[in-house]
Structures are given as C-alpha cells and as structure tokens.
C-alpha cells in the first residue's frame, strides 16, 4: 500500500496534522496504536460512565472577534466552525499558596492585574513592566534556553510572586524542573493568564468524534491498533513504515507525533540512555455524590496549590509529591452543570517514574500504593477545597506507568523531553516531528504544532 502522507499518532497533534493535510491532498493516513483516538487526552468507560483521561481546562480561550488569536487561527486552518466546539469558559481559577497568599485569575486579564495590585501592591508596577516585555517578545525565534525564572526575577523582587506566577505554567506545560524556557513561558503566560481557559461543551469524546469525522469527510483515513514498529529509510528519506502486524505502508511524507526519542527508537537509531530528568505525574479522579457539591467551591475551576514553605517543581524523591499540584472541578465552567448523580474532582501531582516502575513488578503492592496515594491526595485536596470523601462512589488514578503504557511516552512524561525540537527537523528530507517534543504544549499547543509543522515542511513540497 502506498499513501501520500502518513501521520504517526492519533493524539491531538496527529489529528490536527492529518486534518490540515487532508484539506489539500488525498491519500492521508493517520496511524494510531490504540483502539481510540486522543492519546493523552482520551477517555474510557467504568460502570457505563465515560471518564476523561486528561482534560482539566483548555488554554488559549479567545472571543470570536479576536481573529488573530491562536485559537481562532487554529480553527480556520482546520476549517472547523466555532459553534461546533461550544466554548464553556472557566469561572475563575486560583493560585493558592496556603498560609502565604492566593491570587485569582479568569478570562479577563484585568482581574489578574487587580489581584496583583491588591495583594502584591509593591510589585504592581514591576509586573506591568514584565507584561509589556512579554507583549513585545517574539517567542517563535530560534535561541538557546533562556531561564524564565531568571528573567522574571529581574523584574519582580518578591520570590513568592515569582513562584506563584510560575506554578500554573509549570503544571500545564513545563518539562523542566523549577524553571522553563522563557519562550515557552511567554507562550503559556499569554495562553493561560492573558487569554484564559475553557472546555468544550460535552465530553472529550464528542470533540474527538467530531475531529475524526471531519478528517474522514475531508477524505483522510485513520487506522486504530496500527502501531508503527519501524520507520523505513533510505539515506535521508523516510520511505514508509512497518506496522506491528508486519504490514508495510510506503509514503512520500511522514509526520511523527510520538516524541523525539520515541521516533528515534522506531527509526532503529542507537538507543541512548536518556539523561534527561523527565517529569512524571499522578492524576486522581474522584466521582462523588452530587450532595457534596454544596460543600465545595462553586466559583473555582482549577486550583494550583502549594502547601510547602518553598514551592518545588521537581522530580520527587518519593512516589509522589503531594505538597503541590492542581485540583480541578470540571463542573465549574460557565453554562455547564454537574451530572445528576455525581460531581467530579481531579487532582494532579508530580510523581517519580523510577519508583513506580520498581514497585510495579508486584501488582498487589503497586495497586495498594495507588490506592494509598489517592487517599492522601484526597485528604490534601480536602484541606484546600473542603470535604468530599464521604460521598465518593468511584475513584481511579493514573501513574506515570499508566501514561507510558497507553501512549508510549518515555517515563510516562506528559510534557515529554526537556530538549525540544522547535523546528520539527530531525534530519530527514520528508520526515518531521510534531506534538509535545516540538515544543507547543497542552491541547491547543499540540494541535497548533501539528498544523504548523505541516504548513512549514510538507505543504510547500507536496
């Protein structure tokens, strides 16, 4: 079988890349090793309930009138009508450093400026200068790693405010410990604080179903349970792939969205012992009886918290670091209500892949550690948002091992390698990288990555 272009990986970057290609050409095939699309952002069923795997909130909210906003550009490039998504905006979110300070932000940046003015009065002017610098900064140029922490600290003299500003950006997209590249910081500052957060109406399944049918209506195809075992090459050209089933498919162009080292592995490249310190996470999902809703905040969507004296965003020395994380209340979006019989609470913390991996040989020990982690995480969340455990009817947790098993990401690192390949060029004439390791993170970031790598490398040549 021969196709014009193959896209490896049916996550959001792969779906976006395939749709963009299918708008202009026949013979576009998306290969996904699982039986469902979505990758990190997918869903599963338990007791006939649909459970979302990844979604808290999507960054980069933009009003319809803001034609230049990344979200609207993305929708235009994919020929997706805004009404098809149904935007439900966050109510507001909180950065809560317990016993120290708390800052609220919403989709109205003025509210955040007011919060800084009220709670960090002496830093308000410096913050305004930082915002002007961010506004004038072009994050899409090639440059070596610039420490965001160092640059922000040059403006803001209060270390607590520096940590508070960084906390949500780390949790929603840093693959570095305690710092991030300033280019990435600028992209995420705009997408979280200046633009804001939303979720699509319905479930992630509704969005994924729509993206898949859109791809198919444009003439593209998707194949599930089609894991790529090997990318075939001749000199600097990729000629096709061999699937795990042994089937061979040749192609003219190829995009891989599975990660840079993961792609090198299936290119048959030399296996390097990964020297990076990749960051793993544990995600807990609690479904609790809707009666508990009255006891929980009704005006907070996500709470980015820290309970330690010093905020650490590091690979923990234990299985999980409960001192910081994110609590998400997915029913707290405008125009969204909880299901009739339950509400959902999600918690995220940093986790140590190596330790979870060691214990996984003993299934009983692994499962009991997962349960224990969920209990501790629930208690930590309750100390911040109020009690909900008496009504819990279902709970589940993903460790970095779960993420590795389902997406193939090395060490289950959601945000991939700290070494990004910003131009997607991995040394081939017709094979390029998109997705997490290209450097645009999160759901909108992953989709923009798929579109921009296709625009930059394939559409001009195909």
Q: Which stretches of the chain bind ligand FAD, using CB under 6 A?
A: 8-14, 31-34, 39-41, 54-59, 227-228, 257-258, 266, 283, 403, 407-409, 414, 435-436, 441-443, 446
| Residue 58 vs 303, nearer CB to ligand FAD | 58
| Residue 116 vs 227, nearer CB to ligand FAD | 227
Closest to 306 in 3D by CA, of 165, 185, 164: 164
Q: Count of residues for the chain?
A: 462
In the complex, minimum distance from the CB of residue 31 to ligand FAD, in angstroms, rounded to a whole number: 5
| Residue 155 vs 406, nearer CB to ligand FAD | 406
In the complex, minimum distance from the CB of residue 196 to ligand FAD, in angstroms, rounded to a whole number: 12
Closest to 112 in 3D by CA, of 181, 192, 173: 192
| Residue 139 vs 280, nearer CB to ligand FAD | 280
CA distance 241 to 265: 13
Helix (H/G/I), strand (E/B), else coil: 48: coil
Q: Are 167 and 160 in contact (CB under 8 A)?
A: no
| Residue 33 vs 127, nearer CB to ligand FAD | 33
| Residue 49 vs 289, nearer CB to ligand FAD | 49
In the complex, minimum distance from the CB of residue 37 to ligand FAD, in angstroms, rounded to a whole number: 7
| Residue 179 vs 265, nearer CB to ligand FAD | 265
Q: Are 431 and 256 in contact (CB under 8 A)?
A: yes
Other C-beta atoms lying within 10 Å of the C-beta of residue 25: 18
In the complex, minimum distance from the CB of residue 128 to ligand FAD, in angstroms, rounded to a whole number: 28
Task: Determine the angle formed by the axes of helices 12-22 and 204-217, rounding to 10 degrees.
Answer: 30
In the complex, minimum distance from the CB of residue 279 to ligand FAD, in angstroms, rounded to a whole number: 12
In the complex, minimum distance from the CB of residue 117 to ligand FAD, in angstroms, rounded to a whole number: 28
In the complex, minimum distance from the CB of residue 439 to ligand FAD, in angstroms, rounded to a whole number: 10
| Residue 95 vs 258, nearer CB to ligand FAD | 258
Give the angle 69-75-76 at the CA atoms, nearest 5°.
90
Q: Report CA torsion sign: 404, 216, 18, 55.
A: negative
Kind and range of the H or E run holding 323: strand 320-328
Cite the DSSP H helix spans in 156-245.
159-171, 182-188, 204-217
In the complex, minimum distance from the CB of residue 114 to ligand FAD, in angstroms, rounded to a whole number: 25
**CA distance readout (Å), 260 to 80, 175, 422, 423:** 29, 14, 11, 12
| 76 CB-near residues (< 8 Å, 6+ apart) | none
Helix (H/G/I), strand (E/B), else coil: 167: helix
| Residue 59 vs 174, nearer CB to ligand FAD | 59
In the complex, minimum distance from the CB of residue 23 to ligand FAD, in angstroms, rounded to a whole number: 19
CA distance 404 to 271: 17
Give the angle 414-432-175 at the CA atoms, nearest 5°.
25
């Amino acid at each position: 079988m021969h196709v014009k272009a193959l896209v490896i990986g049916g996550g959001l970057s792969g779906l976006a890349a395939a749709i963009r290609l299918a708008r202009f050409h026949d013979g576009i095939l998306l290969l996904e090793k699982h039986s469902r699309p979505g990758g990190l952002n997918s869903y599963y069923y338990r007791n006939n309930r649909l459970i979302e795997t990844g979604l808290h909130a999507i960054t980069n909210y933009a009003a319809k009138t803001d034609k230049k906003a990344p979200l609207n550009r993305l929708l235009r490039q994919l020929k997706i009508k805004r009404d098809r998504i149904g935007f439900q905006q966050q109510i507001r979110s909180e950065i809560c450093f317990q016993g120290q300070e708390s800052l609220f932000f919403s989709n109205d940046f003025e509210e955040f400026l007011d919060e800084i003015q009220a709670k960090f009065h002496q830093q308000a002017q410096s913050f305004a200068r930082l915002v002007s610098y961010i506004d004038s900064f072009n994050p899409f140029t090639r440059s070596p790693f610039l420490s965001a922490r160092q640059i922000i600290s040059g403006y803001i003299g209060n270390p607590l405010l520096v940590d508070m500003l960084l906390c949500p950006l780390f949790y929603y997209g840093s693959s570095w410990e305690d710092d991030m590249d300033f280019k990435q910081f600028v992209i995420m500052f705009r997408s979280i604080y200046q633009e804001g957060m939303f979720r699509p109406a319905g479930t992630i399944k509704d969005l994924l179903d729509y993206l898949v049918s859109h791809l198919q209506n444009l003439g593209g195809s998707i194949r599930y349970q089609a894991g790529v075992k090997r990318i075939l090459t001749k000199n600097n050209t990729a000629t096709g792939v061999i699937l795990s089933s042994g089937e061979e498919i040749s192609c003219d162009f190829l995009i891989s969205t599975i990660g840079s080292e993961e792609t090198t592995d299936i290119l048959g490249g030399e296996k390097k012992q990964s020297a990076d310190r990749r960051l793993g996470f544990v995600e807990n999902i609690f479904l609790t009886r809707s009666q508990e809703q009255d006891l929980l905040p009704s005006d907070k969507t996500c709470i980015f918290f820290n309970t330690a004296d010093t905020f650490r965003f590091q690979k923990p020395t234990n299985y999980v670091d409960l001192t910081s994380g994110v609590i998400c209340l997915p029913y707290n979006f405008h125009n969204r209500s909880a299901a009739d019989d339950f509400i959902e609470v999600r918690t995220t913390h940093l986790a140590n892949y190596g330790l979870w991996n060691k214990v996984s040989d003993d299934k009983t020990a692994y499962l009991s550690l997962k349960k224990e982690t969920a209990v501790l995480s629930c208690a930590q969340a309750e100390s911040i948002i109020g009690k909900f455990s008496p009504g819990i009817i279902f709970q589940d947790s993903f460790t970095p091992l779960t993420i590795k098993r389902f997406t193939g990401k090395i060490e289950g690192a959601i945000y991939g390698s700290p070494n990004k390949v910003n131009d997607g060029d991995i040394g081939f004439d017709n094979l390029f990288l998109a997705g997490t390791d290209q450097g645009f993170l999160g759901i909108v970031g992953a989709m923009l990555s798929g579109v921009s790598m296709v625009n930059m490398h394939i559409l001009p040549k195909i």
